[in-house]
Structure 1
Amino acid sequence: MIAPMRPRWNLAENRANELTQDLSAPPIPVYEIAESSGVNVVFVDFGEHAESVSGLCDFNAARIYVNRDDSTERQTFTMAHELGHWLLHRDIFINDPDAYPVLPRFAKPDSKNPLEKEANKFAACLLVPNRLLRPVKDAPVAVLARIFGVSRLMMEYRLKNV
């Protein structure tokens, strides 16, 4: 499989929905979902890179590394984002490891990379599924963010895209 030129929005959203279809209330247990998807989640000290790197997916080791110093909300998003890479992009890596290097998730990500866009879409849909957000979308943003266990910024994004 060759890396997509454009993000596959439907693929990302559908895969996230498959993983949450049996859940009836937030917050989404992303750690458990990741572990049950065949990847280990490891919280690590990124040392001198702790300010800029939130996490990464290591396809060879079947691990998601998450910055232990980040806020809980950022860690949750990082787990979901890296799980997106694991589920959506593993075939690309297996077929051509040189074409898909380990991509750390930076605090300021590359907004042009279609693989990063897919992983972001997957994470947003996994953590805040449309079917759970629609019935409560008129509640205050801060309340929804707390209930879903995500940042206010992430919740604002989801509300604009529901």
Structure 2
Amino acid sequence: MTHYTKEQITNIAADVLEMYGQREYPVKIVALAEALGLSVYDTIFDRDDVAGMIKANERKIYICKTDSALRQRFSIAHEIGHYVLHYRSGEHINFDENKHISFRDSLSSLGFSIKEVEANYFAANILMPHTEVVKLYNDNLSIADMAKYFAVSQTAMGHRLNFLGLGNE
């Protein structure tokens, strides 16, 4: 199994945005999923802690219809991350038939699974690309204004700034 460095994930996310013409913010995440050949559906999961799921061999992403729009955007980006990083290799899609379903749940952000950490990092890079975050930060935008610009939660924006060494607000 391939594991990626943060730099590799940053570059892959930037390539995906460039390849699929996502140069405006907020990123049109459903359109990006569709450009990658993925369909997005909203649903109610059997478990309250599940926010999203990908059935990679069916190219379907499911998100929790009762989550906020901002959480849904992150969940879609997270599942795209699984697809790009863990199931797709160039134009050849490699599926492990026993592991083609991936859930984004309450454990995903805790760092227990490298795949979950990678998918979260990919999602942050898709929704809040490094160069654009730095540009807004240097323009002295507030966390609230940056979060609105990227259509992410203020919490996600704060985490992204802190990770990039720009935070402490």
Short-chain TM bin: 0.7 to 0.9
The unaligned stretches of length 5 or more in structure 1 are none
Partner of 2:167: none
Of 63, 73, 82, which aligns to 2:60?
63
Superposed CA offset, 1:31-72 (max 9, x none): 1011100111111122x42x2100111012110111111001
In the alignment, structure 1 residue 15 sits paired with structure 2 residue 15: no
**CA distance 1:112–1:29, shift in 2 (3 Å):** same
In the alignment, structure 1 residue 159 sits paired with structure 2 residue 161: yes
**In structure 2, how many angstroms separate the alpha carbons of the residues matched to 1:8 and 1:42?**
30
Tell me the SS of whatever aligns to 1:103. strand
Deviation at 1:161, TM superposition (A): 2.5
Query: With CA pairs under 8 Å and 6+ residues apart, which has the higher RCO, 1 or 2?
Result: 1
**In structure 2, how many angstroms separate the alpha carbons of the residues matched to 1:130 and 1:13?**
8
**In structure 2, how many angstroms separate the alpha carbons of the residues matched to 1:19 and 1:94?**
18
Aligned-partner residue type, residue 44 of structure 1: T
Superposed CA offset, 1:82-133 (max 9, x none): 00001111159835333x3522110342512111111011000000011211
Kept in 1: contact 2:13–2:125 (CA 8 A): yes
Note the aligned Cα RMSD (angstroms).
2.0
Aligned residues: 156
5 Å matches for 1:35-114?
35-46=34-45, 48-49=46-47, 51-91=48-88, 94=94, 96-98=96-98, 100=99, 102-109=101-108, 110-114=110-114
**CA distance 1:116–1:70, shift in 2 (3 Å):** same
Q: Which runs of 4+ in 1 moved over 6 A?
A: none
Tell me the SS of whatever aligns to 2:34. helix
In the alignment, structure 1 residue 122 sits paired with structure 2 residue 122: yes
The unaligned stretches of length 5 or more in structure 2 are 165-169
**In structure 1, how many angstroms separate the alpha carbons of the residues matched to 2:24 and 2:96?**
39
Partner of 1:144: 146
**In structure 2, how many angstroms separate the alpha carbons of the residues matched to 1:125 and 1:113?**
19
**In structure 2, how many angstroms separate the alpha carbons of the residues matched to 1:86 and 1:149?**
22
**CA distance 1:68–1:95, shift in 2 (3 Å):** closer
TM-score (norm 1): 0.86
**In structure 2, how many angstroms separate the alpha carbons of the residues matched to 1:3 and 1:18?**
18
